[in-house]
Structure formats: C-alpha cells, structure tokens
Structure 1
Amino acid sequence: MAEANSIFYWGYVIVLSKFIFGCIDTGIAKSFGVLIPTMVERLDSDYATVGFICSMPSTLTYLLGPLVKMFLTDTNTRVIAMSGGVLCGTSIAACAFFTNVVAIEICLVLAGAGLSMTYMPIHLILNDYFPEKFVLANTVALYGYTAGSMLLPILMEKSLQAYGYHGAFLILGGVAYHSAVCASTIRKVSTKSTSGEGQDDIEQNGRKCVSRRNTLTEDTSLHGCKEGKDEDGDEENQGVSDQTRLIRADSIKKQELSSTSQSRCTATLFQAFKGSCGIWKEPIFAFSIPIQILQSYTCYAWMLFLVPHTEQLGIPSSTAVYLSTIGGIGGIIGRTVFIVFLSKGVNTFSVYIPVGCVCTATFLLDFVSSDYRLRAAFAFFQGFSFFIEDAIGGSLCKDAVFDDTHSGMAFANAAFWCGVGATFAGTFTGYLFDITQSFTKVFIILGLIHAFMVGHLSIVAILIKRKR
C-alpha cells in the first residue's frame, strides 16, 4: 500500500518535471523570436537562414525522438536524460562566443539533441505513471509550455538590453541547464518492472550457459593436456603444449562471449526496429501524421515570428514582446478550460476542431489593422488555441492507436513528425518572408495551412469514432 502511494505521489513529481521542461523548451523557441532580428544583423544573414538555425533546438527535440527511444533502457534512462540537459545548456551558452552562422548552427543542433535526450525519457515515464489518464496528466504538464512562452521572451528582451547579445545567450544557456534537474527526477515505475526482471533472468541464464560452456571447454583442454603428458613423457614439450591449449581455450572463451554480446545487441536493435515499424499497422494514426506536422509548423512559426511581425508594423520591440505574454495568458486560460472539459469526459476532438477554427480566423484576418489592441486580441486567441492544440499529438497516440504494444513508438513517431513541422516553421516561413517582405502575407498563408489541418483533423475524428 505504501509503495502504491509512493508511486502515485511521485507521478506528480514527473508532471512537475515535464512542466519545467516545457517551460524551458518553448521558452527557448520564443526567446529566439526576440533574438532573430539581432542575429540577422550580427551574422549578416537573412531571415530564412537564421530562422532555420533557430528552429534547430525545437526541431531536434522531437525529430530525434525515435532514435533516443531506441537506446533507452531501464539502467541508462536517467543518465541519458541528465546528460542531455548538460549538453543543451553548454551548447546554447557557447553561442555567445561565435559570430559564424555555421558554428552557431552546430551549437544549436547539439542543443536540440540534448533537449531530445531529456524530453523523450520524461515523456515516456509520464505515460508509465498515468497509463489511463495520460491525456489529462500531459495537458496539465503542458502548462509549462504556456508559462515559458510568457516569461522567457520578457527575460530575453530585458537581458538583451541590459547585457547585450553575449549576456542574453549566457542567461538562456543557464536556463537550459535546468533541464538536467528535471531529468534527475526520473524513476522507474516498480509495477512496470516485471518485463525488465524477465529480461534480466534471460540474460543471467544466458551468462550461466556461456559460463558452463567455457568451463567444459577448459576442462576438455586440461584433460587433453594431461593425456598428452602421459604419452610423451617429455616435460618440456608438454609444458609448451599445455600453455598452447590454455591460450586456445581462452581465445575460444572470448570469442563466445563476444558472439553472445553481439547477438544480444542485434536482438535489441531488431526489437526496436520491429516496434517502430509496428506503428504502420495503425492506419488511422499513420493517416493523422500530416496533422501532427502542420500543427507543429503553424505553432512554431507563430512563436518564432510573432514579435518580428509586430515590429514590422511599427510597434517598438520593448512593447511588441508583451504580445508573447498576452498569448501565454490566453494559453493558460485555454488550457484550463480544456482540462475542465477533460475532467467532465468531453471528447477531445469536439474541442480541438472549433478552437482550431477560431485560430484559423485570427490568421486570415491579419490584414485588417495594425492597431496594437487588435494585435493583442489576435495574440490572445492564438495562444488560447495553440496551447490547447498542442495536446493533439498525445490524444492521437491514445485514441488513434488500437494496440497498446504500439503506444511507445507512437509517442516517439509523434515527436518525430512534430520535429519535422518545427523544421519547416523556421526555414519555410523565413523563406516566405524573404520573398514577400511582408509578415502579414506570411501569417495569412499560415491561416490557410492551419485551415487544412483542421479539416484533416475532422476526418480523423470521424474515422476514430467509427473504428471504436
């Protein structure tokens, strides 16, 4: 009973850890929205290139999800997660000392890899603690994404003014180091240990078999040495023969151990590959992949270019940055409303679709006016919508996957496609601006893309309802 209570309460520690990690993840993406204009000028580059390299942390956080999942085991999960936090913080802080686009891109790629090493273990362990209420627990944890979008852009704006470009990156790197603290809370769920213990038993039995085989080999070799000694009677030659046979026995032992290790490694990789391919046996989930890409694309494009868009309309940077805070406030309200609906048992897709329609409308009406009050209203409703929609991936992993054995790789694949969308958010959106030189046109295009995503989501919701 005490152990069950410990598991129950520690689950909320994991929720808190994912909350803080979300604050860091989204805060980094939104902070680059403040830093992009300065980086374009400092690096003597264009918006497409800078937008691409600034999308790397968010992109690789999710893009590398399946790869990180493949190498996770019960013994190294926390080590990998904490190492990722250290790698991320170090890489972002290092950006302060480079003025070359390639060098900064390498640092941000490493930062994204580090974030992925932390994100995937926390995400998977959250599902272990809340297998039946994952969507609710995950939605609560996603408050961190809202908080990060509110607080870190303001922190970066003030840091940029007070400490300059170098100081802002060093502070952002310090914030990223806290992801290692989040990773330190990872603890295996004891009720999930059965399969791990079974695997350990198999490995122990394998070791015993190898040990017995090696013992028999050594005994046979020694026996052969003794027989040879009796027949020859030459002690000097027999000593050489004994030594040769012992060397051969030791060589055979090493080869067998190496063969066993290689076989185990091959079996692990095969199981991981088999698990990743198994997700394609879920046709509805596979059909929903464009939704995950487009939702991530529009959300991260909004995060990266909301402040530059507002600045282009003639609003000072010190004022424009508060639109991120307003969007975050809208996100808190939206997420709270969504959690209330979840607790009442309301179907999640009946919330996503109308909210998505509202978000689409705010993008398509972007041309109406450049008045700051209207921009604030748009930012509020966009934050309200996006911070509800970011739970779509988790919902699809639960509702569109009908075989529980495919759930783990479903989460990893959802993260991968989210990373693909984040990649296009920085690159393609920056490219559109370089062509049009108008963020208003860019945001209208985002509205059209978002409208297509909402329509596709409606079709998937119907398919899931019929399947169930």
Structure 2
Amino acid sequence: MPPAAATNLGYTPPDGGWGWAIVVGAFISIGFSYAFPKSLTIYFKDIQEYFAVSYSEIAWVSSVMLASMYAAGPVSSILVNRYGSRPVVMVGGVLVSTGMVLASFGTAIIHLYLCIGVIGGFGLAFNLQPALTIIGTYFQVKRPLANGLAMTGSPVVLFTLAPLNQFLLDSFGWRGSFLILGGIVLNCCVAGSLMRPVNKKALKKPEKTEPPECNGGAAEEAATVDTITQSDNLTEENQKESKSQGCVNRFIDISLFKHRGFLIYLIGNVVMFFGFFAPVVFLAPCAKHKGIDEYSAAFLLSIFALADMFIRPTTGFIGNTKWIRPRIQYFFSFAVSYNGVCHLLFPLASEYTGLVVYAVFFGFAFGMLSALLFEVLMDLVGAHRFSSAVGLVTIIECGPVLLGPPLSGALVDIFGDYKYMYYACGVFMLVPGIFFFIMHYFNYRRLDKERGQIVAVDVRTCEEAVELKTNPDDKAAHDTDE
C-alpha cells in the first residue's frame, strides 16, 4: 500500500490559487450529486398515493438514481481521463435536468425509474467523479481540507433543497416541482465551467541530474526502480500480455485489484453501502409515520444537513493534522462505526425531540464518513490512480446502493415499523467499521515493515555507489570481470 504523500505526479500541485475555485465548483457539483436523491424523498408520500405503490416500490426511485450514479462510475472515469473534468460535468448537468423535466410528464412509476433513476443517475455520475478527481490534481498537502470543504456541498444543498422542495410541493405539486428542479440543477453546468485543467507544464518538477540522497529515498521511487528491473526480465510472451493490459489500463486501471489497501476499502464498502443511504431516505417518511406534520418532518432533513454541514469541513481540518493524516484510515474506521451505533440507538427516539437528537448525531456521523469516504481512497491508491479507483469502486458498489433502500422498505412493509430497518442498517455499518479497524491495523504494520526494507535497500545501494565512486580502480576491475 504505497503512501499517498509519496505519489509522484510529475509536477508540484499548487495547493491553492485557482484550486480554491475548483473547490467551489466541486462544492456545487458534489452537493447536487449526493443531496438531490435525498431531497426527492419529500415527494415520496404524494407520489406513493398518486400511483398507489408500496414503500419498497417508491424507494426504488432514489435507489435506482443512486445505483445509476455508481454504475456509471467507470464510464465517467474513462471520459474524465480522455476529455478532462470540465466538459463531463457540464454534460452531467444537462442530463439531470433532462431527466427531471421528462419525469414531470410521467404517467407510471416506471417512468420515474427511467427518467429520474437512470437518466438523472447517469448525470449525477458525470458530476461526482470529475469533481473528486480534479481536486487531487490541484491539491496534495492540503488535500484532506480541500476534500472536506468540497464534500460540504452535499449538506448545504440538502439544507436548502429540503424546505424548498416542501414549498414547491405545496405550491405546484410534484409535477411542477420537477420542472423547476430541472432548471435549478443546470447550475452544475456553471460549476463545470470553473474546472479549468491544471497547467502541468508550468508546474513541472525540474529533472534531477544528481542521484537521490541516501537518506531520502521515497517508497514510490524504489517501486519505480523495481518495476523497471522487472520489465527488463519480461519474456516475449509476458511483454505481449503487458501490452494488452496496457490498452485496458489506458482507459481504467484494473491492476488495482492487486492493490492490498484498495481491496480492504472495497470489501468493507460493499457491506457498508447496504445501510448507508436508507436511514436518510426514510428519515422524513418515518417522522410522518409517527404522526409528525409534513413541515416538521422535512425540517428533520434540514437539521441533519446543518449538523452534516458543520462537521464536514471540521473533519477535513482534523484529517489534515500531523496526528491524524499518517493514520487517517483509523479515523475513517471510527466514522463508519459511529454511524452504526447511531442507527442501533434510533428506536430510543420515540417522539419528535428524540428524532431531532438523532438527526443531529446522525448528521455528525454521516458528515464525518462522507468527508473521508474518497479522501481515504486517494490516500490508499494515490491521486494518479484515483480516477480509475473511483470508477471501479462505484460500479461494484452500485449493487448494495441499488438494493439497500428497497430491502429496507421491504422491512417496513413486513413489520409495519421503521425500527427494524434502522437495526439492520446499524449492523451493516458497525460490522465493516470493526473490519476496517482490524484490517488497517495489520495493513499499517505491513506497510511499515515494507518501508523499512526499502530504506535498507536504498542505504545499501548508496553505500555501494559511494564506494565505487571513491575507488575507481575497483570499478574498472569490476567492469573487466563482467
């Protein structure tokens, strides 16, 4: 698991300047990507009554949208690698707007699945991945802080959309609201216009003519040397196989499936995402089920978003400190476990006051996890492989993202109570949290051992180089012997 700090991008990221405009664009783009499916839950009860469908059937609207957003990850990654972030984000904004406008004319629930779920979901994918990827090209030292600020867009947009959607629903109905939302989401095109590619030539690192110092060998440089050495020893058959893999890796890096840290992240996330979105999707419907009025139920989402809004930049700031950054995976493990504990304690919230307390603590938990979700992946694989890593992760995660809310809705249909759904989500979050703690403990130990071996090899190589340089006669004799 190579450390992200040693990633050699070939240039020095500016860590500021136009990068903060990039953060603003990512703030808007990521905000709509994550908040939009959650905010649409305000319309669920009216749509459910209009089409006479069950809880699990209406839950498929947000579920298909989120699953499409994740399933389109590899497509988005390929387009970003080919054309850059700016045009992909702008196309994504147009797609989401088109999906919402078409959904306003829907005559069956299947139309909402296709328009909001599939078309809108693909548009959100074209907003999410490019925004996450371009931050890694502008920031390295301040990257956790930049990611935390950009991820704050989700609660800010949700905090705004939750009461706005309730107002639009009361004023124009769900059809008119979808038309208006189709126009609002075009702001993603404005966000995409800010995403100017980084000028790598102007920031290119000067080539070193001197060999690296003996006490300053980086892990990635040693890995590069090992790669070159191995490539010299390839047989003709292996070289052909390497060329074919290179054609695939030009679009998306499948060699990540051999990356230890990536596999740990992927396994834990697949389980985690079964319980990640459902508690947010059913928060307002659960409050209405308990007899709470519609505006108070919608206000729970605003409270949740306010807590989420506060904790995300705070998490980014904490994650950027010298105490947390070297072991940021533990911080992520705590955030996952904290979410699980919140859901397991949800049944204690029997009245509106309890739901408000739950919304606050869940907002903190969800915000911590969301602020770290992609930062820890970039920490594991490095910024140069992050676009491919996001694409591979999201296409695999689309299964639990798709099935999570409908399965949770089925539990509500079976038991007639939301607490069993929250119990299940708590287990799905707590188990991977414990898994992350254990696996990263052994992974960090393994990484420290590998770093020690690399340093020892570098020191020995440098000592031999110094010895040959100080004894040219020995070097000549050595060359003659060869």
Q: Under TM normalisation by the shorter chain, which class is it?
A: 0.7 to 0.9
Quote the residue 1:283 is aligned against.
260
Q: Could you tell which deviates more after superposition, 424-433 or 410-419?
A: 410-419
Quote the residue 1:447 is aligned against.
426
Against the structure 1 CA distance between its residues 179 and 56, is the aligned structure 2 distance closer, same or farther, given a 3 Å change threshold? farther
> Is the counterpart of residue 432 in structure 1 residue 411 in structure 2?
yes
Amino acid paired to 1:270: V
> Is the counterpart of residue 411 in structure 1 residue 390 in structure 2?
yes
Q: Distance in 2 between matches of 1:366 and 1:150?
A: 22
Aligned partners of 2:271 and 2:428 also within 8 Å: yes
| Structure with the largest fraction of helix | 1
> Is the counterpart of residue 137 in structure 1 residue 152 in structure 2?
no
Amino acid paired to 2:178: F
* Correspondences of 1:103-114 after superposition (within 5 Å): 103-108=111-116, 109-114=118-123
Q: Distance in 1 between matches of 2:26 and 2:417?
A: 36
Amino acid paired to 2:356: A
* Correspondences of 1:231-242 after superposition (within 5 Å): none
Quote the residue 2:379 is aligned against.
399
How far does residue 133 in structure 1 lie from its aligned partner after superposition?
3.4
Deviations 1:103-159 (A, max 9, x none): 221112011111212322222111111134333211110110111222211111111
> Is the counterpart of residue 359 in structure 1 residue 339 in structure 2?
yes
Q: Distance in 2 between matches of 1:50 and 1:161?
A: 20
Aligned partners of 2:144 and 2:320 also within 8 Å: no
> Is the counterpart of residue 72 in structure 1 residue 83 in structure 2?
no
Quote the residue 2:8 is aligned against.
none
Amino acid paired to 2:298: V
Quote the residue 1:182 is aligned against.
191
The residue matched to 2:282 in structure 1 has which SS?
helix
Q: Distance in 2 between matches of 1:8 and 1:391?
A: 19
Aligned partners of 1:21 and 1:119 also within 8 Å: yes
* Correspondences of 1:48-197 after superposition (within 5 Å): 48-73=56-81, 75=83, 77-108=85-116, 109-191=118-200
Quote the residue 1:46 is aligned against.
54
The residue matched to 2:277 in structure 1 has which SS?
helix
Quote the residue 2:288 is aligned against.
311
Deviations 1:262-306 (A, max 9, x none): xxxx99853336x43111120231122132234444331122111
Aligned partners of 1:27 and 1:153 also within 8 Å: no
Aligned partners of 2:332 and 2:376 also within 8 Å: no
Question: What count of residue pairs does the alignment treat as equivalent?
Answer: 394
How far does residue 381 in structure 1 lie from its aligned partner after superposition?
0.4
Deviations 1:12-35 (A, max 9, x none): 111111111222123312222211
The residue matched to 2:195 in structure 1 has which SS?
coil
Q: Distance in 2 between matches of 1:336 and 1:185?
A: 21
Q: Could you tell which deviates more after superposition, 119-128 or 380-389?
A: 119-128
Q: Distance in 1 between matches of 2:333 and 2:428?
A: 14
Aligned partners of 1:295 and 1:390 also within 8 Å: no
Q: Distance in 1 between matches of 2:442 and 2:91?
A: 41
- TM-score for the superposition, normalised by structure 1: 0.77
Quote the residue 2:250 is aligned against.
272
Q: Distance in 2 between matches of 1:38 and 1:70?
A: 39
Gaps spanning 5+ residues in structure 2: where? 1-10, 205-243, 449-482
Against the structure 1 CA distance between its residues 417 and 387, is the aligned structure 2 distance closer, same or farther, given a 3 Å change threshold? farther
Aligned partners of 1:27 and 1:151 also within 8 Å: no
Quote the residue 1:240 is aligned against.
none
Q: Distance in 1 between matches of 2:63 and 2:184?
A: 18
- Alpha-carbon RMSD: 2.7
Q: Distance in 2 between matches of 1:393 and 1:6?
A: 23
- TM-score for the superposition, normalised by structure 2: 0.75
Gaps spanning 5+ residues in structure 1: where? 196-265
Q: Distance in 2 between matches of 1:194 and 1:367?
A: 54
User: Percent identity of the aligned residues?
Assistant: 22
The higher radius of gyration belongs to 1
Against the structure 1 CA distance between its residues 128 and 156, is the aligned structure 2 distance closer, same or farther, given a 3 Å change threshold? same
* Correspondences of 1:369-384 after superposition (within 5 Å): 369-384=349-364
Q: Distance in 2 between matches of 1:148 and 1:421?
A: 25
The residue matched to 1:80 in structure 2 has which SS?
helix
